[in-house]
Amino acid sequence: MIKKNFTILNLFFLFFLSTICSAYSSNIELRKNLVVKAVEKAAPAVVNIKAAKVVERYSNPFRDFFGDDFFSPFFKDIFPGYKEKILEQSLGSGVIIDGDKRLVLTNAHVITGASNIKVKLLDGREFEAELVGSDPDFDIALLKLKGSDHLPQAKMGTSKDLMVGETVIAIGNPYGFSHTVTTGVVSALNRSIRTKYNTYFGFIQTDAAINPGNSGGPLLNVLGEVIGINTAIYAQAQGIGFAIPIDKAKNVIYELLHFGKVQPVWLGIFGQDVDPQVASYLGLKSPKGFLVTEVVKGLPAEKKGIRPGDVIFFINGVEIENKDDYMHFLLNVTSETEIRLRLIRQGKIYEISSLKPVHFTEDMARSYLIKRWGFWGKRYKNSIVVTKVYPNSPAYDLGLRPGDRILKIGGITQNSLENLVGAYIRYRLQKSIMLVVVRNNRVYYVRMRT
């Protein structure tokens, strides 16, 4: 009798326990809102990135006695050659976009200069990564993880139908805190950001917290789809974050996979700033915009009817104040980007749409470099040695001559013909450009008027 009662008690307890567990499980499911479900879908594909690089810094031999800060303000001036190499690590985030090919999308600034890159998944697995390609102008980098087994991947969405006010979710590793989730809304679209070194266009602005370490992580919609890549490049941001639209990132990914880099593009026009004199002559209210001075036949601008004398003042909804804005915009688009222009012609405003840029090929750039800058060269060690200077050219007027070695043009080190061509592509609209030239073992800093 006692044994029978005990069995019934056990059955009753098990029934009670299963009921409680079932109710608890049901409550858990009820609490899973769209944000929770989105995070569950995407989190396994979000990764922590550690990038190690060796950097040189001025070393203080008296730090053991006085501390690092005692001589720091003036030590490097007294002993400029006293340096040491140290290993620095930067933290960032990324997202696996192809589990079979083991491809990870992140920001370029997360891995810049890295000699070793390690990636850690949510499940604890850690892999070494190699760089497939990177472009600092887009702040996009693509990594490939070593190994052979299949990895989780995030679902790619689209950024073309984003709505201001819709809920978004950021996942990343701010300050090293792995897989931190923040939420917010899309605050604005098509934002431009000016930093000390660059201007970036077309960002998604959100109030979801994006801090150092979040860079490279995904911005998700409530379906768990990647609609942007978070970036923390704007140090002054307080309570706002920015993300690169995923459609823009997709174009960069295509170029990196097929060409190893993002091919430069152009519309086939040359131009200059609008100064007060030009603004007065054209009847403009203020000296703003990009004045078209030359249109190349057979290229997109000419086909769309753009003429010399036109002043471009909006591209894709972004105000263009000068030639630098125009150039920075081109550095932020690929050949797949559709462009809309607003320009002034003889006092009237015109809209031009469905304009697509074309690749500015190396052969084309070399031809224009010789024609407009007036010299050519060849690679010699870590420089370009000038082999030809053309009469009545900017290089000729500067006094450049065969045998001179060029170490730098603008901010681009000249250690390859590719970099020489790249310097022309980047600085082709400048009125003057700084060169670092070696002649007879002496270094000269000279400015070439173009």
Single out the catalytic residue among 98, 109, 328, 393: 109
Catalytic residue flag (residue 247) = no
Catalytic residue flag (residue 139) = yes
**DSSP string for 265-281:** EE-SEEEEE--HHHHHH
**How many CA atoms lie less than 13 Å away from 400 in the CB half-sphere?**
32
Token digits of residue 312: 């471009």
Token digits of residue 433: 């450009």
Distances, alpha carbon 66 to alpha carbons 63, 69, 76, 177, 432, in Å: 5, 8, 16, 34, 47
- The residue whose two tokens read 């969405």 is 157
Question: 3-state DSSP call for residue 439?
Answer: strand
Distances, alpha carbon 188 to alpha carbons 90, 181, 202, 281, in Å: 29, 21, 10, 37
Catalytic residue flag (residue 215) = yes
**Residue whose C-alpha is closest to residue 138's, from 333, 276, 315, 272:** 333
Could you give the CA distance from residue 153 to residue 95 in angstroms, rounded to a whole number?
8
Single out the catalytic residue among 93, 134, 159, 215: 215
Residues near 179 by Cβ (< 8 Å), separated by ≥ 6? 43, 46, 48, 122, 171, 172, 173
Single out the catalytic residue among 98, 135, 137, 139: 139
Positions marked active-site: 109, 139, 215
